[in-house]
Structure 1
């Protein structure tokens, strides 16, 4: 069975499901993704097979069926894409929750002459045992990759005349790196099994497992060392450089840098939660191999909003009005996340309106919404010197009006300031545009000069790129 798929856009994981035709039975160990061994699927009560796949733009999932009669027309597969906590139905409607409810494929005795090894087995040593079970008295011819297996490898033979079968066990059968095809031929039929032997790692890759910027969920990625066939291989420390702080302690503290332990070619990298959608950049090294990867941690794709407001009138020598408004919004928009915060109050002094912002300064962990993270490490998702702050983020683009590190050509070590910001792409070295700075801010980076940021209509605008800069007023 061959199930081809193609995906437009990006994501974290894929779920491909298929219901085998009536009368067909899945052959354990036969699942493949682009010819490489794939973990056996889970199966639900209706017999539907669930394959969880790493994200890739296109590919082919294949598996074998055992059947006796002609197969009827095949049912179309379903395909679901996961992006953060959002699921997109590309074909059909099967959820990742259905995957969790499905049960693992039942392990049973294999129907065929070859009892060991099972199809799809991945070996990490170059010798294996082959066990054959055939009708009693039959001559057998065993081959590996087309070459006969010498009789000197036959270590044990058991003949059961009463039950009419014989069991032959071959020891120390040599494997070659990559695919290995074990075949047996008898006068009454044949059987074959494909197994794999991993080689030396030749490249590194990173797969996102969970990238959700909600301020409390750790970012999780899988680091993989692959051989020439794409099988995971290798043991030891992988050195990781990243722009987000790791969550786990260094696995090899006597080595310089930060390391995660690689076992059977796989390692789990966990990074601290991030409150805002942000790019994630990685640089990996392992035994002379190196790789770089970049991902984007997107916020929740579910709408969230809260709003509180009040207004009043004070009666005395004069009538004075006052009011207060607070609110927070998160909403998916055009493949990104829009966030907005409001916290301000209005009062009058000597007939003049006075506006105060509640988004300025450090938050009180025991205070009101909006806060993210643990109470001991509370932070505002959108700080601002004004009562309002806005930010829109998607992969490769960020636009907002909020407080953050200022970037002005010709000046360094500037503190935070509230301004309109455009970054393309967002990150530590983007093309950046800053302007429309909030009034009343004064920055003194070197305790020697004052640099006032003027009103919006006179704000300085700059554009800066990594490795060079251009500015204008």
Structure 2
């Protein structure tokens, strides 16, 4: 029940001519008045006493246009978006007094519409006034500021100094006399690009379309005028800036922008961030992708962090180089909430939950604890109720599989115990288990250590991840597998642990592991990827060992002009590894080195050197001695690869490459002369190997408007010749058709392997579909496909698609189509799943959830047909009123989707609170799927409070089975005393016969004493006190 409603005062001030504010009069609708464009200031005076964030929705007056950049709260700029409906959505911190924005219009403003106000807190949302369409708000976009052109001069568009995201632009030229020549970067723009020509007696206007630009600065010249525009290069860094420090009530806001090496903004759809010390409020742009993805608009977004009492937050961009560390504002104020229960009886039982966020010793401490485990494993039993009707399932960024997760941070020091807290320092792989990590910063030097208990399978298989399917053999131990993706990034080894249910699915009975997404989605920079899977089978000896390490990290400069040096010792699976890793970055150069020692030596070097505007030298070398058994180990031997692209004079240059492998003992090299022209390149040269082979090489490529590369290597010493074609034909800015083909010409005839596909993204949707054409050797065509899409249809409907397919030569596929409908408190989903592997399985699933006031209802269902047929349905109801609370869940499971052969069950729990009486009751029914065996139980009980500090109570429970006819009765009597607020002491006796199985909530036989504690926010520097009410 809301005890406080906001009051809204609406006013508008009209600005005429000199833009002076005045009281809004009735504007005459005469022709002269209508021809004047006016600007008005709309003020929404807020008087809302609340915490959290306010989402204010307001409908623009008819005929009015919003002025971008004019929205402010108490004079400070605020975020505003415009929905598909045209409604404005303002996001501001609760506590602001006035919200203002400007509009332009010609006619008189009509009566202003009542705004809607939604309060958003960590616990949920609360509609305070009016109506707010949350789907319209969720899909709203920032208003676009249109840049007007110059009103004088020859070059009207683009504007001098403009940053253009595309690699082409339109150019508007206004001239007097003869048509001027247009030049871009000194090259004449052909007249064929003139899309519009207007001529007068002695003047004219030319509009050039799709004028090509190059990354970096571009000069545009027409007549005597020259302007400069810039085109961002590839994304190279992420810049962070603190917009608002926030406090315990207001969220902190950090501006995130993706930039190129020159600091220009780059348009990318999202960026992967690692956030330490705070929890993001922005939704994850791609929930099914590893890590946290922040959605960007034109390469920029404001990241909102959950309100908290001070502390340090560190942001690291995983996709590109970039790191930011900020001190959050606010007066230090502790938040301590929890409960605990200790029962002394037969047996002794302890349970509890706690949340601690508090300043301590000059830093910020966060502790989350739950005796039942913060993050249960997927193999645990189904929860008692489908829905709970409260915020008990709220997820936190700090979690663990065990009962405790903790973090302490202060300037120069951090300690963390949580899931995936520990990571080995060389390949940056996080351990998928609870672990501890400590970091101490002293100037540019950081000392770190970590420890984790890692469970690894006793068997291992290495496979090519491009196949999509790995056969591990039948009969795997559920949950024993660990899938790790390895490869190199810019010459150095990199590893990533895959997540079950996100990166792959697995069938333990058949031992089939299926990658659910192509590697190119999540690891586009990973070269030569390999998949390593460790697992166990029943009867195998458990492989659990400690993984720990100590080291130091020295950093200097910036991510684009600086370096990092890491020296560490790491131990895993009883084998120690000492290593040194270094990165040196400067404008145009990046050097990476890695050296490891563990019974042998492994060394890696990667160099990338820019040569002028277009030249580049890349070198990658790896060497491993026999006997090396440490981290990141590979095949003993040495491999070296080098590539050079260098300009010589004007459009002429050279291209060279060489590769050597000590395993094969072969060295190959080639040298080409190249010609580069805007839009295309060509090269001609020769190559040879130490095996006595020689070949001639010809290449031709096109860069705009299509990316096409054709290469032919003609054998000169009797070996086969080879032709390779690759092309990317853009359909839109973010979607392209890709074509690859490789033809081998030899004595055994023509052999070729080709592929055609679709690659790109739309919003946060990603596509990678490839069909490999049949070849002359008789191999059938195969399809490797991956689609991950989320496509909004309108304000309420959206459709999602996720599919992976592999055909070689028989079809194996997994695909799902999902639809979602959301309006107000209603959320409905419907999905279709298809899987083909040694037979087909098709399934349909859906859910329906509706909440209003204290009521929440939910229905879920799933049916599978085919070789893995089964059905699984559930319905839940939750009512949480001030005096009555009811939870009820019904389930039906049968076939392959059921546990223990199938079941049908009904569970209901209810409580009723009066001033002096607490009553509780419940009913449970469970039967087999064929309804032949039934187990039922019921309970009722309560407590009567003789005084506010003394109560007597009891519980009666009956349980029965059919067809055995066994019925058991049990009960208990107890006395509860409350010596102080928040502390309860209960003494009782449980009458439970020995033949009656103890049920959930009834864990005692005979006498027992129970201590219950409920506590909330307290002051750390004050004497320990507790307050609240006793837990019953």
Give the TM-score band, short-chain normalised.
0.3 to 0.5
Higher percent of residues as strand? 2
- When normalised by structure 1's length, the TM-score is 0.41
TM-score, normalised to structure 2, is 0.20
Greater Rg over alpha carbons, structure: 2
